[in-house]
Amino acid sequence: MASWRLTGELQPAHSLGHCLIARSEQLQMTSVTIPAFLLVMKSRKELENKVVMKQMLALLLCVMISAMAFGRDDGYAVAYDGGSVQGIKTGANLKIHVDSNQIRFTEGKQGDVLVIPASAVTEITYGQDVHRRVGAAIGLAVVSFGIGGLMALTKSKKHFVGLTWADGDKKGGLAIQCDKNDYRGVLTALEGVTGKKATDSETMTVKN
């Protein structure tokens, strides 16, 4: 004889047992499903964070490269160590500004004392022999160079950069001495705006 229990409506005892078992299984499945869902969400969030971080790093890298390619806004302090430029005394303290299409040299409050179109640059050199290299490259028998030209013979540790250009029929060249902290920045900026690779002057020394 079947027994009956009151649960809102009369159901056989064995049917109630089946319901309890089914409910228990549902709870067990839920207890497993919820942590798994949370784990998936956590993994997805971590992945999204990694993607955002990579994008931010890429953007920062682009900004840094652009800044290096076009130099600093306030320019780099350099010393003019001689060349073919008239009106600039050897040893004068200048600032070199590398713009998007030109290279400017300023002196104190005088403003621009030399502007070289980036497309006119023919050679960028660095090292101890830039003075002789510049003189030979621009085809001048006599080029006035500063103390750096003499110190190059003693393998000084000064950081020299040579620059030559040809703007139409006008050829020119100069040597500058950079601060040791700005040396690489100046070379990178010049390479970036001219598209020319800086060359070690000691590997291409021209004997006078």
Which fold is adopted by the domain 76-203? PH-domain like (2.30.29)
- Please state the domain extents for the chain: 10-69, 76-203
- Count CB atoms within 10 A of the CB of residue 184: 14
The Cα diameter of the chain in Å comes to: 127
pLDDT averaged over the chain?
75
The model's pTM: 0.60
Are 88 and 173 within 8 A, CB to CB? no
Task: Compute CA 55 distance to the chain's CA centroid, rounded to the nearest angstrom.
Answer: 16
pLDDT over 60 at 91, yes or no? yes
The string of pLDDT tens digits covering residues 105-145 is 999 888 899 999 999 999 999 988 888 888 887 776 445 55
Mean pLDDT of 62-68: 49
Phi, psi of 50 (to 5 degrees): -65, -40
Residue, of 69 and 84, whose pLDDT is higher: 84
The string of pLDDT tens digits covering residues 8-60 is 454 554 555 555 555 555 555 555 456 665 666 667 777 777 777 777 776 66
CA neighbor of 130 nearest in space, from 51, 62, 203 = 203
